[in-house]
Amino acid sequence: MKHIHHVIENLMAGRPEACHLAKALAKQARATHRRMARARAVGFEAYETTLTDLLLTELAHVDPRFWRVVRFKPHEERGNGADWEWWIQRSDLSWVRLWIQAKRLYHPGERYEELKRKVRRGSDGRIWQSRLLVEAARREGRNGSVLPVPLYAFYNCLQGKRAEPWPCKRLEPCQQQPLLGITIAPAQQIDELIVKGKNGYRDVLAESKPLSCLVHCPTVWSGHPQDSYASTLLMGMEWLHTNDVLPSAPSLPGRIEEALETDDEVVAEESDPRIALITGHAALPGARMDEVPPGLADLRERFDLRALEQQGWRETT
């Protein structure tokens, strides 16, 4: 029997940073799928905010030297349609900014019902939330800030055991469904779907990639070594955007840099999402969490997987 983390290790041979990150993202996709299934089994639905909080908390523990979560002080009015933003550092130490809106799959219709949600935009009436996200990102760039890259993150759990369409043939059907627990897509493509009245699972999946595919695609990444979590993620994000070079800023906003030093919450501005995830190419300032010694994080991941196996949960080929 072959577990999914063994498949990833084979695909990522010789790239330890990317291998560790690929396993971490795959683990979070499976965990999201499992949380949604467990909630539904007792008559509940796991909401986007809960799933996002859990996802970002776990990602921040991938390696606390290079990952950090910063919260914005609570506020209600948001002008950009994003739930959270992600700052990723390039090797030249500049920063790429992502704006991400999270949506979950509804049952029994297997549609993202909230994709069709309209929001108020000033005196212009109501527009699709996806259009708000895309237009707000463009406006932010015109206003002199670094242009945010708008994305959607989808939280998925299907009913019953099914083999779903997959972007490539590298995995067996039994491995695919849990890895579709989190998929990601450019907001512009999702906005075009919504304009056409499409918000079904299969429609959206055709425009999306599994989150873990950002760092373990063997076809795209062959011969392209990456030397950090951040550089690996950026290559995946550029691939998601048809190899466009993503815009970047020379530094983080001052209030976020200060929060990294002090661990304080950030004072929210009108267009802020509620939370930010920071991924550094170089080690980040501050020490909110103990640093993870080299090799320990990978050992902890293996221990967690063994614990799951002991509880009877496994994926096999």
Residue 14 within any structural domain of the chain: yes
* pLDDT-derived band at 148, boundaries 50, 70, 90: very high
Note the pLDDT of residue 189: 94
Q: What is the pLDDT of residue 139?
A: 86
Tell whether pTM > 0.75. Answer: yes
What is the spatial distance between Cα 283 and Cα 256, in angstroms, rounded to a whole number?
15
CA distance 173 to 182: 16
> Do the strands 84-89 and 95-104 form a parallel or antiparallel pair, or are they unpaired?
antiparallel
**Phi/psi of residue 227, each to 5°?**
-110, 10
Residue 76, CB half-sphere, CA atoms under 13 Å: how many? Answer: 0
Model pLDDT for residues 227-286, shown as the tens digit of each residue: 789 988 998 899 888 878 899 999 999 889 999 988 888 887 777 888 899 999 999 987
Determine, yes or no, domain membership for 109. yes
Whether the CB-CB separation of 238 and 248 falls below 8 Å is answered with no
Owning domain of residue 115: 4-310
* Domain annotation covers residue 315: no
Contact 155, 103 (CB under 8 A): yes
Question: For the CA atoms of 121, 51, 220, 93, what is the dihedral angle to 10 degrees?
Answer: 70
pLDDT digit string (tens) for 121-142?
Answer: 666 667 888 888 998 888 887 7
Q: Which one-letter amino acid corresponds to residue 78? A: R
Residue that is written with structure tokens 């815009």 in the block = 247
Tell me if 279 sits within 8 A of 86, measured CB to CB: yes
pLDDT of residue 92: 93
Q: Is residue 316 part of a domain?
A: no
Judge whether 62 and 22 are in contact, CB under 8 Å: no
Asked if the structure places residue 101 within a domain, the reply is yes
Residues 163, 90: Cα–Cα separation, whole Å: 37
Residues pairing with 278 in the sheet: 68, 87
148: in domain: yes
Residue 266: DSSP 8-state: B
Residues 169-224: tens digit of each pLDDT: 555 554 567 788 999 999 999 999 999 999 999 899 889 988 988 887 655 555 55
Residue 202 located in a structural domain: yes
Q: How many domains does the chain have?
A: 1
The pLDDT, as a whole number, for residue 309 is 42
* Domain-located, residue 250: yes
Contact (Cβ atoms closer than 8 angstroms) between residue 249 and residue 146:
yes
